[in-house]
């Protein structure tokens, strides 16, 4: 991989190019802002004969996931892409894909769920699907959106996992912003993902199987436990895939990214593009002598509990930023998961939650500075006065 491969791409274009290199057997998709450019760009590769993919334009996202389920069960490598209300419309089939253990890969461009109608970024769509049985990978920038798409294929198809994967990036913030992307060699991508070898495909007539049967009290519980086991297996199997990815492409990947946490006393936890802004603030605070740090989970499902506990081991106070509201009155989904992980660990940093950026509202360095100021006060007073807060709201 050399600088000659530095290409100006948006996040959507980067994902579409990754899909071109993957060359899946079937892509069934329906356009929705801000995901549409993924489908548009990939369909041009199909039309130009640059891939051998069977492209299926469907009448809705429900149909898109249904077609992917059928194609994957038949024994093909299947992909789709969506955002927000599109993900919500395919909800029923999203669960079917996971419970049927089909390794479908779906780039999701994060966008607020209606209503009111909003086409801009927050994480309410994928966080709403966090318990559907899909793995979830979040990208900070377009480069990671590109890499995660390729990585997801190997993870989904791993023999000890066999679960579908969502690769998430922030709507408009990364999906439509142009960055210089270092592209991998086509041959190396093909070598990394390998030839798809389906397990128990429907079209293997010599070994007949049944997909989607009625499953009542007798076996439903046990099948759910198998799903749970697969998610736990993913925690064990994914590091192997990470190492192979680094060996092939020279890119180091882990469940979480720790930024200046080695000696940090206060830390912020954030997903996706917000982490980039937070790093700037951390650097500025470090120059002032403030021991600040950042933790960015790249993987949210399976939840990397041990990695998070280790990364926050020396922190006295931590602020978790959620770009979605769970309406639980206890905090956002990332916060509640992290607090639960910390509860029965040997470390007990004081934890505070901030809901921010709903409907695409910008988060600025000044906002993040305020969070770190709050953390400094929490350390001094040894108390969190208001665990749940709303950052950047006018109310």
Give the pLDDT mean for 200-224.
94
Any idea which fold 256-391 has?
A: Rossmann fold (3.40.50)
Residue 395: what pLDDT? 77
Which DSSP string do the residues of 20-88 spell out, in sequence order? HHH--SEEEE---TTTHHHHHHHHHHHHTTS---EEEE-SSHHHHHHHHHHHHHHT--EE--B-HHHHH
Nearest to 164 by CA among 256, 258, 65, 56: 65
- The model's confidence at residue 2, banded by pLDDT at 50, 70 and 90, is very low
Q: Where in the chain is the domain with CATH 3.40.50.920?
A: 256-391
Are 268 and 371 in contact by the 8 Å Cβ rule? The answer is yes
Q: What are the tens digits of pLDDT across the range 238-251?
A: 999 999 999 999 99
For the ranges 2-11, 51-60, 136-145, 356-365, the lowest mean pLDDT is seen at 2-11
Mean residue pLDDT across the chain:
97
Instruction: Answer yes or no: pTM beyond 0.85.
Output: yes
The per-residue pLDDT for 8 is: 98
E-only strand ranges, 237-330: 256-259, 266-269, 292-297, 299-301, 317-322
In this prediction, residue 4 has a pLDDT band, given cuts at 50, 70 and 90, of: low
pLDDT exceeds cutoff 90 at 1: no
Q: Is the dihedral of CA 251, 252, 256, 258 positive or negative?
A: negative
Beta strands in 60-219 (DSSP E): 78-79, 105-110, 135-138, 165-170, 178-182
pLDDT tens, position by position, 160-170: 999 999 999 99
Asked whether residue 3 carries a pLDDT value surpassing 60, the answer given is no
Whether the bond between 42 and the residue before it is cis, its omega within 30 degrees of 0, is no
Tokens, residue 27: 């892509």
The mean pLDDT of 372-391, rounded to a whole number, is 98
Contact 351, 318 (CB under 8 A): yes
Percentage of residues of the chain with pLDDT beyond 70: 99
The predicted structure's pLDDT at residue 262:
97
Of 1-5, 213-217, 335-339, where does mean pLDDT reach its minimum? 1-5
Q: What is the mean pLDDT of residues 169-191?
A: 98
The pLDDT, as a whole number, for residue 167 is 98
CATH 3.40.50.970: which residues of the chain?
3-249
- Residue given tokens 């023999």 in the structure block: 159
What's the rounded Cα separation, in Å, for the pair 363 and 374?
A: 16
Please name the CATH architecture into which domain 3-249 falls.
3-Layer(aba) Sandwich (3.40)
What confidence tens digit (pLDDT) does each residue in 255-310 have? 999 999 999 999 999 999 999 999 999 999 999 999 999 999 999 999 999 999 99
- Residues contacting 50, CB < 8 A, separation 6+: 20
């Amino acid at each position: 991989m050399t600088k000659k491969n530095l290409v100006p791409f948006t996040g959507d274009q980067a994902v579409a190019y990754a899909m071109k290199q993957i060359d899946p057997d079937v892509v069934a998709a329906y356009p929705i802002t801000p995901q549409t450019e993924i489908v548009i760009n990939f369909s041009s590769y199909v039309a130009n004969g640059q891939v051998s993919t069977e492209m299926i334009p469907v009448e809705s996202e429900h149909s898109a996931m249904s077609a992917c389920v059928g194609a994957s069960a038949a024994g093909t490598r299947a992909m789709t892409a969506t955002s927000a209300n599109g993900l919500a419309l395919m909800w029923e089939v999203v669960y079917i894909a996971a419970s049927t253990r089909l390794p479908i890969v779906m780039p999701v461009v994060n966008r607020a769920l209606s209503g009111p109608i909003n086409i801009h970024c927050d994480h309410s769509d994928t966080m709403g699907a966090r318990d559907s049985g899909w793995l979830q990978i979040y990208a900070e920038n377009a480069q990671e959106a590109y890499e995660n798409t390729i990585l997801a294929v190997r993870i989904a198809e791993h023999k000890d996992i066999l679960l579908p994967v969502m690769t998430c990036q922030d709507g408009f913030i990364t999906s439509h912003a142009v960055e210089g992307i270092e592209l991998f060699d086509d041959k190396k991508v093909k070598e990394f993902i390998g030839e798809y070898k389906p397990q128990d495909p429907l079209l293997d007539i010599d070994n007949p199987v049944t997909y989607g049967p009625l499953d009542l009290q007798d076996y439903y519980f046990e099948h759910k436990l198998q799903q749970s086991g697969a998610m736990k297996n993913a925690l064990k199997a994914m590091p192997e895939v990470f190492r192979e990815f680094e060996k092939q492409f020279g890119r180091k990947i882990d469940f979480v990214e720790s930024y200046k946490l080695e000696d940090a006393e206060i830390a912020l936890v954030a997903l996706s593009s917000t982490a980039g802004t937070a790093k700037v603030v951390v650097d500025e605070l470090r120059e002032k002598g403030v021991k600040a740090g950042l933790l960015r989970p790249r993987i949210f499902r399976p939840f990397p509990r041990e990695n998070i506990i280790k990364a926050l081991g020396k922190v006295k106070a931590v602020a978790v930023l959620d770009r979605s509201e769970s309406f639980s009155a206890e905090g956002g989904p990332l916060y509640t998961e992290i607090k639960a992980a910390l509860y029965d660990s040997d470390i007990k940093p004081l934890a505070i939650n901030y809901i921010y950026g709903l409907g695409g509202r910008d988060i600025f360095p000044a906002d993040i500075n305020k969070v770190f100021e709050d953390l400094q006060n929490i350390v001094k007073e040894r108390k969190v006065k208001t665990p749940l807060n709303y950052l950047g709201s006018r109310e």
